[in-house]
A and B are shown apart, each in its own frame.
Chain A
Amino acid sequence: MTENLVHKHAEHEEQSNDRLMFGFWVYLMTDLLMFGVLFAVYAVLHNNNVGGPSDKELFKLPLALTGTLLLLTSSFTCGLGMIGARKGSVKQVLSWFSVTFLLGLAFLGLELFEFTQLIHEGHTMSANAFLSSFFVLVGTHGLHIISGLLWLLVILIYVVKRGLTPSMVRKLGYLSLFWHFLDVVWIFIFTVVYLKAFV
């Protein structure tokens, strides 16, 4: 009897978890729509450089590749951390997600390095439509990375303080979904913005 109740309770919780997960998925998809529109803007405007340097002259492919590999690896370690979280291992969660955090931070550093270099050389956001759309598209992704890093930091602090409660595992689940999602978006930025410039 009690066992049955417990089972029912667990089932109920699982259902509500699924629903919460779906809600988060809805958020991700609306975010994806926003990125889609920014991609459209970039695709339309990327040749409008008003005589300024073109994408080919401004972008450095090795830098973009390094960033991509960093983000890809961070996505992988994030997944490993999630496996640790489902096993209930605080140690694994802390170590893998710390690696994720550091890789994300390195990616952000590369991006900021690229941005400051461009701006320093006078290729600012207001120079032409091409640079506007570039900074908005890549910058929006960067802002997502920043918020993801902050979120991760907060969750890790909570894990240290309170341990791996089921709600923490759930939150880590959202976060890893968010992080993988940013990875997918970046793959398209890498392809459409950086690789395409050298076609």
Chain B
Amino acid sequence: MSENTHNHSSKNGEHGTVVSYLIGFMLSLFLTVIPYYIVVNKVVTGNKLLVTILGFAFVQMLVQIFFFLHLGRGPKPLYNVLFFVATVGLIVVAVGGSIFIMNNLYRNMSPYDVTLKLSENEGIAQVGNIKTGACQGLNKNHKVVIKTGKVTPVLTEAHLCDTLTFINEDGQEILLVFGPKSYGGEFDKRVNKVKPMSITLNELGTYSFTDSKDPSVSGFFVVTEHK
């Protein structure tokens, strides 16, 4: 009887031994206590922490699957592995898809005041024609003077929420076209001697502006985050 049992287990090796259970148990303990320690002591924070603890959970799942559930050990249970992988795939799609879609929905289809609030949190100064209040008190004004076809300064370095004013000292009105595509939904602005034109810098990045009639009249502005 005992020899039979021995034969049986050695033949397909799908059952654990005391040692393998002990290894699995120890690994699981470590993989539980370490993320707990990391979270309580705030060793890392934010998204990094989230990824870390999810990583620990995933590794712990693999450990338990291997040492406790004995998946994939022995000749037969290959179907089991296949089924398990398919199930995990479905769950990843269902959970990931739900989070992704609902986040998008929340961000883009909320009531108007929620959108304004979210925009304010993200440092966007203006939604449509309504100021969100995101940039109050922070802004510095930068001036770009266009005189006899020369732009000074050619490069303006600014922070988010600053304003940029274009002053045209020539008699003729010019149409400034923003590049590479547009700035904050603005494609172009008319600037004439009577009325300087300002824009609020609520998008990060490097942009250009060019006179639509004379491409040599052009300049750049770089918008960076506030420190």
Q: Which residues of A contact B (CB under 8 A)?
A: 14, 18, 21-22, 25-26, 29, 32-33, 36-37, 39-41, 43-44, 61, 65, 68-69, 72-73, 75-76, 79-80, 82-83, 86-88, 177, 180-181, 183-184, 187-188, 190-192, 195-196, 198-199
Contacts and interface: CB of A to CB of B under 8 A. Distances in A.
Contacts of A22: 76-77, 79-80
Contact of A83 (B16, B65, B76): B16
Given A40-B94, A191-B53, A196-B50, A80 B18 contact: yes
A75 B40 contact: no
Nearest to A43: B99
User: Interface extent on B, as a size class?
Assistant: 35 or more
Contacts, number: 128
Interface string B50-84: 10011011001100110011000000110110011
Interface centre among A26, A83, A177 (most CB of B within 10 A): A83
A187 B39 contact: no
Contacts of A26: 83
A-side interface mostly: helix
Contacts of A14: 8
B65 A184 contact: yes
Given A183-B68, A188-B61, A199-B46, A29 B36 contact: no
B109 interface: no
Contacts of A196: 50, 53
Given A37-B94, A61-B40, A72 B83 contact: no
Contacts of A73: 25
A82 B15 contact: yes
Q: B interface, by DSSP: helix, strand, loop or mixed?
A: helix
A124 B61 CA distance: 31
Nearest to A189: B57
A18 B76 CA distance: 7
A25 B80 contact: yes
Given A36-B94, A69-B29, A195-B39, A25 B83 contact: yes
A183 to B, nearest CB: 6
A188 B76 CA distance: 28
A68 B84 CA distance: 23
A37 B128 CA distance: 38
B95 A39 contact: yes
B52 to A, nearest CB: 9
Contacts of B65: 184
Nearest to B36: A65
15 contacts: A18-B77, A25-B77, A41-B98, A44-B102, A61-B39, A65-B32, A73-B25, A75-B68, A76-B24, A79-B68, A83-B16, A83-B18, A88-B1, A180-B64, A199-B39
